[in-house]
Homo-oligomer: A and B are copies of this chain.
Amino acid sequence: MKIASTLTAAALIAAVTPALAEVVVVNQAISETEVLAAQKGWCQALVDISSTNANSGRAAATALAEKVIDSAYGYQMGTVLFKPTLTVNPQTFRTTRAGALSYFVAGDSNYPNDSGFALKDWTKCEIDNASIIITGSSASTMGKVHFTDGSGNVTTVDKTWKFVKDDAGQLRIVVHHSSLEFTGE
């Protein structure tokens, strides 16, 4: 065996020192911090749509809802698995952007039963995770989410989210299942 690239240890140290300073690390793994921030972002967006509706009217709230959906969900992938809290059969699942928008702000005659969940005067939205699983390229959360309206009433739902990271490094919701708590009655 003849190995061409043989140096003494001393020469080696000199040679590799500059390279050691230039290690670029691209880390696309999803972190817990990113997951918690994405959850908080969703909550804040919901409250913001409510307050925009109250202060600036329905059209402004709808424009904001479109912006939120386009930045926080993954509808550009082709489908999102979205089961909102209050939809009824046969329009339970909102796998398209139009279906999601109607759920949040209503006003779409194709979804006559929607009343606009984001318009219900929400003033607070709090997340209480039961557990989080980060598999590396996706992250899933499950827990309670508590919505407080302007009168102080609290609605609690059981909510599951699955996030993936897009090419720009932003988390996007690709699964969202929300349901009212079962009360045993």
Spot the interface stretch: A42-50, A52-60, A155-163.
A155-163
Q: Are B23 and A130 in contact (CB under 8 A)?
A: yes
Q: Which residue of B lies closest to A19 (CB)?
A: B128
Q: Which residue of B lies closest to A3 (CB)?
A: B155
* A41 at interface, CB cutoff 8 A: no
* A175 at interface, CB cutoff 8 A: yes
**Nearest-CB distance from A86 to chain B (Å)?**
6
Pick from B3, B12, B28, B155: contact of A180, CB under 8 Å:
B3
A160 contacts across to B, CB distance below 8 A: 81, 83, 160, 175, 177
**Nearest-CB distance from A176 to chain B (Å)?**
9
A26 to B179, CA, bound (A): 24
Q: Name the residue among A9, A79, A135 with the largest chain B CB count within 10 angstroms.
A: A135
By a beta-carbon cutoff of 8 Å, the part of chain A in contact with chain B is 1-9, 12, 15-16, 18-20, 22-32, 76-83, 85-90, 92-93, 95, 113, 115, 124, 128-138, 140-144, 146, 148, 152-156, 158, 160, 162, 164-167, 174-175, 177, 179-185
